[in-house]
Amino acid sequence: MSLERSLEARGDTSRGAGAGSGTLRGLQEVRDALHGRSDRLTPTDAVQLLSHSAFPNRHRDLQSILDDEGASSRLRYLAAVGLARADRTAAQDILIRASQTSETRVLAGIFRALGQVGDETALRAVEEVLPRAEAQARTQGEFARTLIMHRIGLSGGRSARTPKIEALELAADCGQRVLIRAARAHVAMESLLALGPRPYGIELAEDPMFEFVCDRCRGTIMLNREFTGTDALSLLRKRPALLGLGALRSESDDRWSAAAVLLTTPEGKGIRIAVHLTNGERIFDGLATVQDEEARWSLRAVRRLGAFPIRAEGTFSSGMLRIDVAESGTRVVQSARPVAVEAVHRRRTVHLRPPAEE
């Protein structure tokens, strides 16, 4: 989205005399706001507008905030995260240089962005800084390391700390419907446009793509185009992979954003599957068993604060993902020991089906 359109959406309907004057004026206002010189935009607004704009040199403006030790740690964190949407090579160089910061929150943002855009050079930088990082930043750094290794298919080396995984099981009389179907064309296009070019360093496939709807949220499941060919299963059995992304649509403003990453790792004769939120928290764990040229997979929600049971199963063959069944429970984990709540729905099984004609 252009800066001019973004500002108009916030209530600025004024126009400049020339075709590009509105954009130039908008850019100048955003730059003024970055340094607290605007009555209408806060510095936080400016960073977010700039991060999602199409201005080609936005990485330099974001760099000016990230490098400003007088700016708040929150603003510098947002600038670091925003760099993940800018020119990848320039952003990586800026982030690596800034990783020498002593501010934990800022370093967490740098790690988060490097996880999305980094290559082997970024991986070495993350591993160099990790030993001195404090808890909040260390968690992001370890996840950044995991993301980079899966994206470039790198195995071996020091493994990040992996907590014990406990899956949540569905009660026999407790569940509600999860609708999963092939994504309608307008839904697919909206989510692709919102995530921008090569989010998390991968090209997303337009097909297959799925949309899901439940009482709690709605979104899309998109695959890395690299793993949609006939050799996809063979590749997944050889190396770690960033298989795809999950995106959510906000109910408040209808905006789409990346919400989860799908990671796979060869395990024996099968494939281990892990789904993480973009902050690194694991939300699903599963396994795919491979027989001949087909993998049958199963995912379960893992126990965590605020979690609810979900089970999904299907197959993967020749780059085609099939979701055969998806079920969701109504019980939510309130604490380390979940508190049972009265079930209000019977469990129902949902099969993948093509979208209805509209």
**Ordered per-residue pLDDT tens for the chain, 358 residues:** 445 455 445 544 333 333 344 566 788 899 999 988 988 899 999 999 999 888 889 999 999 999 999 999 999 999 999 999 999 999 999 999 999 999 999 999 999 999 999 999 999 999 999 999 998 899 999 999 999 999 999 876 444 444 567 877 776 655 566 788 999 999 999 999 999 889 999 999 999 999 998 766 889 999 999 999 999 999 999 999 999 999 999 887 788 999 999 999 999 989 999 999 999 999 999 999 999 889 999 999 898 877 778 888 999 998 889 998 888 876 565 544 433 333 333 333 333 444 444 4
For residue 172, what pLDDT is reported? 60
Distance CA 328, CA 5 (A): 39
How many residues can be counted in the chain? Answer: 358
CB atoms within 10 A of CB 346: 11
For residue 215, what pLDDT is reported? 66
Distance CA 76, CA 74 (A): 5
Answering whether pTM is above 0.85, one says no
Distance CA 94, CA 109 (A): 13
CA atoms within 13 A on the CB side of 17: 0
Q: Where are the domains of the chain?
A: 3-152, 176-328
Distance CA 5, CA 3 (A): 6
The domain made up of 3-152 has a fold known as Leucine-rich Repeat Variant (1.25.10)
Q: Answer yes or no: are the C-beta atoms of 34 and 68 closer than 8 Å.
A: no
